[in-house]
Amino acid sequence: MTPTRREFLETVGAASAATAAAGAVTKSMAQLAEGSSVRSVATAVLDIGYEEHGPADGTAVILLHGFPYDIRSFDGVVAPLADAGHRVLVPYLRGYGTTRFRDASAPRMAEQAAIAQDVIDFADALGIERFATAGFDWGNRAACIASILAPERIIGQAAIGGYSVQNTVTPGNPMQARQAARFWYMWYFNTDRGAAALEANRHDIIRYLWDTWSPQWRYTDEAYARSAPSFDNPDFVPVVVHSYRHRLLNAPGEERFLGVERRLAERPPIAVPAIVLRPGATGLGGTPSRDPSQDQARFTNLVARRIVDGAGHDLPAHRPDAVADALLELLG
């Protein structure tokens, strides 16, 4: 079917934005390659690996990656924030990169409440009282829950993908076929065969997800190679498997989070200042709605809502300008 003029212009605009963003990311990665080093800080549960940029006395911004990505997704976001005088912290989530469980015998669990608590523990370990956040996928879920549990500590949140809190207490209604098909990996990891496949073929699975979740973006082998070592963390597979099994009520969570998960099951709204960024070209969630009402209901202090052209699921890597601009707006 021949596209309308409007559809044609929207496609051209998205392609132009993606091309410009790709150039910005390449330049930022080259700049970060010089002198970047991973640090570590101890919390009660984890030794968290992270990169830090910008002045140590700047307002803290914590950038949180998702599955199956790592801190390299934010390479293009760092420089504008650091240049504006902010302290930019980019931690590896549990199971990724250089982050490790401190207790070798501890079960490798990763329910949503745990990864949110990791963010708060990370800030505590660094002596940071207040901070802004940006996250996508698991990172956005952690940021959303941190905003619910400790709103007095969150200056603002760039919520990439919108509200991302799950009900892990009550079984949900069955998904429609199209939606269920997009989440094939989640069902797969709930089986023993799927867990074994992730262990044996993790890079094949991850690269496939990268490509299919961002159909208008072309990842290079070099870009994947920069992130690939993060997925060789010995805790990666058990952490991922537990996360998706707990989400579908097929694995127990930690006892310390039972009350938190019950509270989250009510899907409380987020009251901190927030800007919602929705990728315009994701292969995971479908075309984002132009109707802002759902985000307005979930974020009661919604500063702005933007659909980001040229961005797939890995939005910070594709349109770092959109993430940096949102954070700078929230930080004033």
pLDDT at position 122 is: 98
Q: Is 2 exposed, middle or buried (0-12, 13-18, 19+ CB in 10 A)?
A: exposed
Angle, helices 75-83/320-331, rounded to nearest 10 degrees: 30
Cα–Cα distance measured from residue 248 to residue 168, given in angstroms and rounded to the nearest whole number: 7
How many of the other CB atoms lie within 10 Å of CB of 237?
20
- The H-or-E segment that residue 177 falls in is helix 177-182
Band (45; pLDDT cuts 50, 70, 90) = very high
| 73 contacts 317 by C-beta, under 8 angstroms | yes
| Residue 63, beta-bridge partner list | 134
- Tell me the CB-side half-sphere exposure of residue 291, using CA atoms within 13 A: 3
pLDDT, tens digit, 9 for 90 and up, residues 207-226: 999 999 999 999 999 999 99
Q: What is the DSSP string of 280-330?
A: TT-SSS-SPPS--HHHHHHBTTEEEEEEETT--SSHHHH-HHHHHHHHHHH
Residue that the structure tokens 């830090």 belong to: 52
| 310 contacts 280 by C-beta, under 8 angstroms | yes
C-alpha pair distances (Å), 22 with each of 3, 117, 145, 217 = 26, 33, 31, 9
Residue that the structure tokens 């963390």 belong to: 233
Cα–Cα distance measured from residue 25 to residue 318, given in angstroms and rounded to the nearest whole number: 8
* Tokens (6 digits) for 242: 């537990």
Domain boundaries, the chain: 5-331
pLDDT, tens digit, 9 for 90 and up, residues 172-206: 888 999 989 999 999 999 999 999 999 999 999 99
pLDDT at position 286 is: 79
Among 23-32, 161-170, 188-197, which stretch is predicted with the lowest mean pLDDT? 23-32
Q: Does domain 5-331 have CATH number 3.30.530.20?
A: no
Burial annotation 108-146 (CB, 10 A radius, 16+ → b, else e)? bbbbbbbbbbbbbbbbebbebeebbbbbbbbbbbbbbbb
pLDDT, tens digit, 9 for 90 and up, residues 246-281: 999 999 999 999 999 999 999 999 999 999 999 999
| 77 contacts 227 by C-beta, under 8 angstroms | no
As a whole number, the mean pLDDT across the chain is: 91
Closest to 39 (Cα-Cα) out of 91, 95, 103, 74: 91
> In this model, does residue 2 exceed pLDDT 80?
no
Q: What is the DSSP string of 186-236?
A: HHHHTSHHHHHHHHHHHHHHHHHHHHHHSTT----HHHHHHHGGGGG-TTH
Which own/partner pairs from 186-194 qualify as long-range (CB within 8 Å, at least 24 positions apart)? Answer: 186/244, 186/247, 186/248, 189/240, 189/241, 189/244, 189/245, 190/244, 190/245, 190/248, 190/250, 194/241
Pairing of strands 60-64, 87-91: parallel
